[in-house]
Amino acid sequence: MIRIRTATTAAPRPRPLLRLRLRALLGVLLLATTVAAVAACGRPGSPPVKGPQSEDLPVYRAATGFELPGSRTWERARKRGHLVVGVKEDQPYMGEKDPARGTYSGFDIEIARMLSASLGFDPKTIEFKTISSANRETALQNGQIDYYVGTYTINDNRKKQVGFAGPYFMAGQSLLVRRDEKDIKGPDDLVGKKVCSAAGSTPYQRLQKDHPEAVLVSYDTYSVCVDNLLTYQVDAVSTDDSILLGYAAKVPEELKVVGTPFSKEPYGIGVPRSDDALRLALDDALAENEKNGNWKKAYDATLGLSGQSAPNPPVIDRYPTD
Ligand code: GLU
């Protein structure tokens, strides 16, 4: 809201620009309406919108008699009676929170739920906590969460601080621009362009290193970047294609994803680094859910709605304990 007001009270501009700003404002309003509409999805009389439909989602049954000796995280959750899982809340079809009902939906959320059931916890009891890209390692190290499922790329640097089960999905860095953008088609077209990404993310780090000629802007979340794109304050948003396709699918008349992905982002389930028992149990649980069809069913009902059919899940990397 403040951002919008700032834009409208700015010094008078020539007519065409003003028109563009109005279009941008319209875009923001449209986005807000779409988000509200998705939030209202399923209520009597609500408009038919493209969002995860509960009848299409798998039903997960909590494993009975499951024990995980050797996992401090699992024991802590057992005493508590439920799992605490870190996620994102503003990434359409991946991890999205309905602000009215406080419920979460998306592919990452389904992954979190199916794993919870395999570990013997009723997925309905999960306490979801929104954690931004920059705060994931700290949240796992401090014991704020038991595991994390939120477009979290596995890499060697992060493996020094946390453990990763998976991968459960392969994404790639891409670019989101306004539909009327003509100049930006790939990362080499970013010279002098304002590009927004999330602090602490691998796409931000890659732009910094490989494309220093771009003017980088960072926020805690990608949805703030998208607001900035719609209001003409940045020229592009860069992160994983899985995230960007979701934003584009919400307002296709305003936004588009361009070019081909220029990195590999294997998504893992973050766990406390010392808890190998939990990590390997999650690997087993993931393999089981890929085999029994839950993974594909969950994908089709969530991320599949942003336009790409289900790929084969990547090979799980049960790396040795150290
Ligand atoms: N997958 C990338 C990362 O883990 C970008 C998405 C995100 O920030 O969550 O940094």
Helix (H) or strand (E) holding 147: strand 147-148
Query: For residue 153, how far is its CA from the centre of ligand 1 (angstroms)?
Result: 6
Tell me, yes or no, whether 218 and 196 share the same domain.
yes
Cα dihedral: 300, 304, 308, 311 (round 10): -40
The CATH number assigned to the domain holding 65 equals 3.40.190.10
Residue type (1 letter), 95: G
Query: For residue 134, how far is its CA from the centre of ligand 1 (angstroms)?
Result: 9
Tell me, yes or no, whether 112 and 135 share the same domain.
yes
Give backbone dihedrals phi and psi of 248, rounded to 5 degrees, phi first. -65, -40
Cα gap 159→164, rounded to integer Å: 7
Tell me, yes or no, whether 214 and 194 share the same domain.
yes
Tell me, yes or no, whether 193 and 130 share the same domain.
no
Task: Report if residue 318 sits inside a domain.
Answer: no
Tell me, yes or no, whether 161 and 185 share the same domain.
no
Tell me, yes or no, whether 112 and 246 share the same domain.
no
Count how many domains the chain has: 2
Cα dihedral: 149, 103, 305, 168 (round 10): 10
Range 305-320 average pLDDT: 95
Q: Which atom of ligand 1 is nearest to the CA of 153?
A: 4
- Residue 137 and residue 158 in contact, taking contact as beta carbons nearer than 8 Å: yes
pLDDT per position as a tens digit, 100-110 = 999 999 999 99
- Residue 238 and residue 196 in contact, taking contact as beta carbons nearer than 8 Å: yes
* Confidence at 51, pLDDT banded by 50, 70, 90: low
Range 145-152 average pLDDT: 98
- Residue 167 and residue 219 in contact, taking contact as beta carbons nearer than 8 Å: no
Q: Alpha helices, DSSP H only, in 15-118?
A: 15-40, 72-80, 107-118
Range 51-62 average pLDDT: 86
- Residue 81 and residue 90 in contact, taking contact as beta carbons nearer than 8 Å: no
* Chain mean pLDDT for the chain: 87
Tell me, yes or no, whether 130 and 79 share the same domain.
yes
Q: Residue 53's pLDDT is what?
A: 73
The structure tokens listed for 172 are 């790639």
Full residue range of the structural domain in which residue 84 is found: 54-171+265-306
Hey, how many other C-beta atoms are within 10 angstroms of the C-beta on 28? 19
Residue tagged 């359409």 (tokens): 92
Tell me, yes or no, whether 213 and 72 share the same domain.
no
* Confidence at 50, pLDDT banded by 50, 70, 90: low
Using DSSP's 3-state secondary structure scheme, residue 104 falls into: strand
Give backbone dihedrals phi and psi of 307, rounded to 5 degrees, phi first. 115, -5
Q: Which atom of ligand 1 is nearest to the CA of 204?
A: 10
Q: Name which of 47-56, 68-77, 206-215, 300-309 the model is least confident about.
A: 47-56
Q: What percent of the chain has pLDDT over 70?
A: 84
Tell me, yes or no, whether 79 and 177 share the same domain.
no
User: Does residue 19 register a pLDDT over 90?
Assistant: no
User: Does residue 40 register a pLDDT over 50?
Assistant: no
Query: For residue 162, how far is its CA from the centre of ligand 1 (angstroms)?
Result: 15
pLDDT per position as a tens digit, 244-259 = 999 999 999 999 999 9
Task: Report if residue 49 sits inside a domain.
Answer: no
Q: Residue 128's pLDDT is what?
A: 98
Query: For residue 17, how far is its CA from the centre of ligand 1 (angstroms)?
Result: 33
Query: For residue 190, how far is its CA from the centre of ligand 1 (angstroms)?
Result: 20
Query: For residue 207, how far is its CA from the centre of ligand 1 (angstroms)?
Result: 13
User: Does residue 1 register a pLDDT over 60?
Assistant: no
Cα gap 255→181, rounded to integer Å: 9
Among 108, 132, 133, which is best to mutate for testing ligand 1, by the most ligand atoms less than 8 A from CB?
Answer: 133
Q: What percent of the chain has pLDDT over 90?
A: 81
The residue whose C-alpha atom lies closest to atom 10 belonging to ligand 1 is 201
* Confidence at 306, pLDDT banded by 50, 70, 90: confident
* Confidence at 307, pLDDT banded by 50, 70, 90: confident
* Residues at CB less than 6 angstroms from ligand 1: 133, 150-153, 198, 201-203, 239-240, 265
